[in-house]
Structure 1
Amino acid sequence: MIRIENLTKSYPSQIGPQYIFKNLNFEFPTENNVAILGKNGAGKSTLFRMLAKSEYPDNGRVITNKSMSWPVALQTGVHPQMTYRENTRFVGRINNVRSLSEYENKVQEFAELGERFDLPVRTYSSGMRAKLVFACCMNIDFDIYLIDEATSVGDPLFRKKARVSLKEKSEQAGVIMVSHELDQIREFCTSAVVINDGELTYYSDLEEGIDVYMHDANQKKTKK
C-alpha cells in the first residue's frame, strides 16, 4: 500500500506559488508494476521524488508499509571522497543489509570495476558513478523499485545487463517507473497512473493509460 493523503506541493515563482498538486488524495496500487505518465510539467518527477522521500510536500503526506528503493537513476547518497567500497558499505548499513561483506562482493562483481573499486568516487566518470548506484540498488531486496530512466546507465553491455537485472526484479517485486521511452515502459510495467491538471488516474490496462497520455500530449501540441 502507498497512500497519498491531502498532499499539496508548490514551487515559488515571481508571480506567486506554482501548484503542482493541491489537496491530492490517491492510493497507489502495488500489486502491478506502474508507469507514471504525463505531459512535460505535469509533475511526474516531483511525484516520483516525493514517493522516494527525496523531496517533501508543503502539506500532507505519503504513507506506505512497503520498503522502497531510492530512484535508481539518481546518483544520490554517493560521497565523492569515499571509495566505491566505502560507499557500498555505507549504503548497506543504512538499508540494514545483513551481511555487508557478501553485499560488498555482489556489488563489486555486478559493477565490473575491478581494482577501481578502491578508488575515491571523485575520480570516476559519471557513467562509473551511475554503475555504483545501480549496482548498490539492485543487490538489495526492496518491496518496490523506483525506476527513472535507469537502463541508460553505462556502456551498451552494461545497459543490457541492467535491463536483465531490472526485468528479474520486476517479476519478483513492485516497480514504479518514470520514463519518456514507451518501449521501456511496456517492457517493465503492466499498468499506468496518468497525471493531468494535478489529478492522478489509475489504469489497470497499460495500453489504455498510454492512449490517454498520448491523447493529452497531442491535445497540448494542437493548442500550440
Structure 2
Amino acid sequence: MIKLERATKTVRMKGVSKAIIDDVSFMIPRGKSVGLLGRNGAGKSTLLQIIAGTLELDKGRVIRRGKVSWPLGFQGSFQGSLTGEQNVRFVARIYGVDTKELVEYVADFAELGAFYHAPVRTYSSGMKARLAFGVSMGIKFDYYLVDEITAVGDTNFKLKSQEVFKGRLSDSDVIMVSHSSSTLRDYCQSGIVLEGGKLTYYDNLEDAITVHENNMKRR
C-alpha cells in the first residue's frame, strides 16, 4: 500500500508556480498494476519521484507499506566518478541485499563488458539505462516504478528485459508512466489520471484511458 496524506507539491515551470498535486489524500492498493496518465507537463514523473522518496513534498506525507523501487527510467542517482560495479555495491548496501549476488546479477544482465568496471560518467545514456534496469531487476520490490522505459538495447536485450520484468510482476505491482496506451495495457490493469493537481483512481485501466483521452480533447 502507498498512501498520500494531504500531499502538496508545487514546482516552477517557465517562471510560474504550478501545483503538481494539491492537498491530495489518496491510496494506491496492492494487487493491481497501475498506469499513470496525464497531460504533458502534468507532473507524472515528479509524482513517481515523490512516491519513490527521491523528491520531497512541500506539505503532507507519503506512507509506504512495502519496498518501492526508484523510477526505472531515471538514471540520475548514479555517482559518475564510481564504476558501474561500485555503484551496484553501494545500492546493495542501501537496500540490504547480498552484495556479491547483486554485482554478479547486474554484470550478467546489463551486458556492459569491460565498461562495468569503468566510471559511469563514461557511459552512454543507453548504457546507464541498462545498468539502472539491471540493478532494478536484481532487487525484489513490491512496487516497481517505471517512467517511459521497460527495456533498452538491441532486440535480443529488449526481449530478455521484457521477459525478466514480466516475471518480476508475477508477485509485484508496477506503477507505470507511458504515453503508449498499448504499453500500459501490456502491464497494467488499473489506472490513475493526474489532472489539475488531483488524482482519480479507476479500477479498470480502460476507464482511465477513456477519461484521459477526453481530457486531452478539452485542451
TM over 0.5: yes
Aligned to 2:126: 127
Deviation at 1:18, TM superposition (A): 2.3
Identity %, equivalent residues: 41
Task: Give the aligned length.
Answer: 219
Aligned to 2:64: 64
Q: Distance in 2 between matches of 1:14 and 1:187?
A: 35
Aligned to 1:100: 99
1:195 aligns with 2:194: yes
TM superposition score normalised by structure 1: 0.92
Q: Distance in 1 between matches of 2:71 and 2:86?
A: 20
Aligned to 2:27: 27
1:183 aligns with 2:182: yes
Q: Distance in 2 between matches of 1:178 and 1:140?
A: 21
Aligned to 2:41: 41
Q: Which amino acid aligns with 1:73?
A: G
Aligned to 2:147: 148
**In the alignment, is the contact (CA less than 8 A) between 1:73 and 1:153 conserved in 2?**
no
What is the root-mean-square deviation of aligned Cα atoms in Å? Answer: 1.6
1:164-220 deviation line (CA, Å, top 9, x unaligned):
122112222011001111111111101001112222111111111111111111222
Q: Distance in 1 between matches of 2:173 and 2:30?
A: 6
Q: Distance in 2 between matches of 1:158 and 1:172?
A: 23
Aligned to 1:10: 10
Aligned to 2:89: 89
TM superposition score normalised by structure 2: 0.94
Q: Distance in 2 between matches of 1:113 and 1:203?
A: 40
Unaligned runs of 5+ in 2: none
Report the structure, 1 or 2, having the larger strand content: 2
1:70-123 deviation line (CA, Å, top 9, x unaligned):
0011103211111111111111111110x2112111110001122332122222
Q: Distance in 1 between matches of 2:217 and 2:44?
A: 18
* CA pair 43-119 structure 1, distance change in 2 beyond 3 A: closer
SS in 1 for 2:144: strand
Q: Distance in 2 between matches of 1:127 and 1:196?
A: 31
SS in 1 for 2:69: coil
**Rg comparison, structure with higher value:** 1
**In the alignment, is the contact (CA less than 8 A) between 2:151 and 2:162 conserved in 1?**
no
1:117-160 deviation line (CA, Å, top 9, x unaligned):
21222222111111111101101001110011122522332222
Unaligned runs of 5+ in 1: none
Q: Distance in 1 between matches of 2:204 and 2:195?
A: 18
1:18-72 deviation line (CA, Å, top 9, x unaligned):
2222211111122200011111222212211110111111111111111100001
SS in 2 for 1:172: coil
Aligned to 1:73: 73
